[in-house]
Structure 1
Amino acid sequence: MAGGHMKYRQLSRDSAHRQALLRNLVTALIKDESIHTTWPKAKEAQRMAEKLITQAKRNDEIARRKAQSILYTPHELLPKLFGEIRERYAERPSGYTRVLRTEPKSRYDQAPSAILELVDGPRDMRFAMTAAAVARDRALGKRHTDLTIKNIAKVTRYRKDGREKFEEMVEKIKDLGL
């Protein structure tokens, strides 16, 4: 990256291909709420998804047209974006997505992989992992670590009925005997 600061990652593609790729990733993210891709693609798609959700929170005609120009299947996803997702993040000021690094998808090219997910959703990885840690600590009779306490606060802060849903998840994991 000689020449100084870059505004965005080029992802070794021309601009039309890059925009199509990012639109496809964001469409899949809104549809499935979690996608597995390479880390640089996830970081760029995260930028676009954050802006799209911020637009959706405004809930006006300009925001709808902007979302319609980004999503590949707007007739399917606009009701979800301006309904369920907008309501989920109404109180959250920002930070609607999370990128979690994972092992490389392909063992041949060893490209850094990541999971891009919407936070506070049904497939929230941190929520499940924190619930598993709490269930394990309770089963062993141990005190929670400072990190676990911070994660509990993070995953329940903006989630509607966060503490109750968290306790339900802990009970489910405890019943599984993990």
Structure 2
Amino acid sequence: MAGGHVKYRHLSRTSSHRQALLRNLVTSLIKNEAIHTTWPKAKEAQRLAEKVITLAKRNNETARRKAQGILYTPFDLMPKLFGELRERYLERPGGYTRVLRTETKDKYSQAPSAILELVDGPKDMRFAMTAAAVARDRRLGKDHTDLTRKNMDKVTRYRRDGKREFEDLADKISALNLGVTKSTKALSPPSE
């Protein structure tokens, strides 16, 4: 951020427009558990999303009112926020969201894009990518790299049945990959 020390990104918007944008992004994040937006918007929405989940972990009347003031559809999302998400992150000390950089979303503006997602959920991309890496290593008969081992520890640390879920997903991916390689061999023409 050029232009000196500031507490947050202004996102080229007025204060009310920026607050509305961030509330909308956080509402969509809690509803869908993953959103695709520009990188600066994702980083700013991440800050607000972390605060909202921390409010859910407190689970008192003041926290409920503050969270209700942030969400655009509180009656739809408050049960999910103070139920499912609160239970998921009760033992986690912080870091409830993750920002992953992606290719540009719009080919005309070329703005840096990112995916903002809730960690340890059904749409956790790092969990799936690590399971795919483990399945690939098993298929090739190779040992896991240090990075894969660290990621395995990270993605299963705060999940309730993390190890079992991880092994199930790695087995599913292995079965899919084995099915693809068998079917492609059957479809390929015989070599002469």
* Pairwise same-fold verdict (TM > 0.5): yes
Q: Which residue of 2 aligns with 1:17?
A: 17
CA drift at 1:22: 0.2
> Which residue does the alignment assign to 1:119?
119
- Secondary structure (helix, strand or coil) at the match of 1:137 reads helix
1:16, distance to aligned residue in structure 2 (A) = 0.4
Distance (whole Å) between structure 2 residues aligned to residue 6 and residue 159 of structure 1: 36
AA of the residue aligned to 1:76: D
Give distance in 2, aligned partners of 1:41 and 1:162.
30
Q: Name the structure 1 match of 2:134.
A: 134
Shift of 1:108: 1.0
Partner of 2:27: 27
Partner of 2:62: 62
Residue 46 of structure 2 corresponds to 46
Q: Give distance in 1, aligned partners of 2:5 and 2:124.
A: 33
Q: State the number of aligned residues.
A: 177
Unaligned runs of 5+ in 2: 181-192
CA positional deviation for 1:5: 1.3
Q: Distance in 2 between matches of 1:165 and 1:174?
A: 14
Question: 1:156 is aligned with what amino acid?
Answer: T
Deviations 1:20-66 (A, max 9, x none): 00000000000000000000000000000001101110000000000
TM-score by length of 1: 0.98
- Superimposed CA distance per residue, residues 91-143 of structure 1 (whole angstroms, 9 cap, x where no aligned partner): 00000000000000011111000000000000000000000000000000000
Query: Alpha-carbon deviation of 1:175?
Result: 1.1
Q: Which SS does the other structure have where 2:100 is aligned?
A: strand
RMSD: 0.7
SS at match of 2:93: coil
Among the aligned pairs, what percent are the same residue? Answer: 76
The residue aligned with 1:8 is 8
Name the residue aligned to 1:75. 75
List alignment gaps of at least 5 residues for structure 1.
none
Match for residue 154 of structure 1?
154
Match of 1:107 in 2: 107
Structure 1 CA distance for aligned equivalents of residues 172 and 127 of structure 2: 13
| Pair member with larger Rg | 2
Which runs of 4 or more aligned residues in structure 1 lie more than 4 Å from their structure 2 counterparts after TM superposition? Answer: none
Paired with 2:42 and 2:145, the residues of 1 have a C-alpha distance of 30
In the alignment, the residues of structure 2 paired with residue 81 and residue 172 of structure 1 have an alpha-carbon distance, to the nearest angstrom, of 30
> Which amino acid counterpart does residue 111 of structure 1 have in structure 2?
A
| Cα distance in 2 between the residues matched to 1:70 and 1:175 | 43
Q: Aligned AA for 2:152?
A: I
Matched residue of 1:31: which SS? helix
